[in-house]
Amino acid sequence: MAAQTARRASSTSLGAVVSSLITASLWLWVLVNLGMVVWIILNSLKSSREIFENPVGLPGEWRWENFATAWVTSGLGEAAINTVVLVVLSVAIIMGLSIPAAYALARLGGRSSGPIGTLFAFGMSIPFQALAVPMVLMGVGIARFMIEWVTGAWDPRITVALFYVVLSLPFSVFVLIGYFRSLPSELEEAGALDGASPFRTFWQIMVPLARPGITTVAVLNVLSLWNETVIVLLLVPNQRMQTLNVALLNFYDNMQYTSNWGGLFAGVTIVVLPMILLYLFLGRRIVSGMTQGIGK
């Protein structure tokens, strides 16, 4: 009996040590990332000379004009509009398709729901490198078809949005299937007893209850598409149609001639900071939504 008690005490203490180490590691990771963000912001307000002479200190002279230089010189203004339009439009289509698809696969059943859900999970495992060449060929084919047979002109940003939607659907549907399955089926039965149609039950009962999961998927898609670079590089040759990340890369290429490091850090801040603020704001709402009772 004493030996069992000693083993339990030893196991408990070991678990506490492991938990403390994991917590400390996570906090260290958070502090390192916060330190990087602060360092980038501080250097965005310095001159190039001051960045090399004092890379970790406060700016001697706060150069807010670095942001204006980055915004105008690198074309971040046009790129910001392109990025916002592409991300908002793509995420709206992704959520509009994935929410009803996930609900149908999770709650309506049927023999085909299982295999179809497996296909969505399989789509998540396909490496992007395997899709790069087919994506370029399809993009060229779509543009040629639209120019020669339909409109006479074509905007490659539409092709980019199309691939954004196609590549994001497997993840979105897979996550939302699990979330809809976690909701109690009694809610649908109660709606049916009250005379609600399946569509009304879905729209007025299940979608509001799934709002935390929907918000999570939407935020993750926004972050992913905001940071996406390769697809735009492959499909959009016109610099005036490119997104923030590609404009920042072009700005970096020009650095070898201008050496405007303060402007470069300002460009990085313009690209990164909105997503950090958006995630912090919506992250709190996600936690708040997850703590609400289903029957509340």
- Residues 6-51 pLDDT 10s: 555 555 677 677 888 888 898 899 899 888 889 999 998 888 888 8
- Residues 232-243 pLDDT 10s: 988 988 888 889
Residue 63 has pLDDT above 50, yes or no: yes
In DSSP notation, the chain reads -HHHHHHHHHHHHHHHHHHHHHHHHHHHHHHHHHHHHHHHHHHTTS-HHHHHH-TTS--SS--THHHHHHHHHT-HHHHHHHHHHHHHHHHHHHHHHHHHHHHHHHHS--TTHHHHHHHHHHHHTS-THHHHHHHHHHHHHHHHHIIIIISS---HHHHHHHHHHHHHHHHHHHHHHHHHHTS-THHHHHHHHTT--HHHHIIIIIHHHTHHHHHHHHHHHHHHHHT--HHHHHH---GGG--HHHHHHHHHHTHHHH--HHHHHHHHHHHHHHHHHHHHHHHHHHHHHHTS-TT-
- R_g of the chain, CA atoms, integer Å: 25
- Distance CA(20)–CA(48), nearest Å, equals 42
What's the chain's average pLDDT?
82
Residue 4 has pLDDT above 60, yes or no: no
Domain locations in the chain? Answer: 74-253
Percent of the chain exceeding pLDDT 90 equals 14
Lookup result for tokens 């001051």: 50
Which has the higher per-residue pLDDT, 263 or 119? 263
Q: Which of 137, 157, 142 is nearest to 237 (CA)?
A: 157
Percent of the chain exceeding pLDDT 70 equals 87
In DSSP notation, 187-222 reads HHHHHHHTT--HHHHIIIIIHHHTHHHHHHHHHHHH
Contact 91, 288 (CB under 8 A): no
Tell me if the domain spanning 74-253 has CATH number 1.10.3720.10.
Answer: yes
Count other Cβ atoms within 10 Å, centred on residue 81: 12
Residue 109 has pLDDT above 80, yes or no: no
Confidence category of residue 92, pLDDT binned at 50, 70, 90: very high
User: Which pLDDT score, from 0 to 100, does residue 295 have?
Assistant: 38
Average pLDDT score over residue span 174-188: 82
- Distance CA(296)–CA(294), nearest Å, equals 6
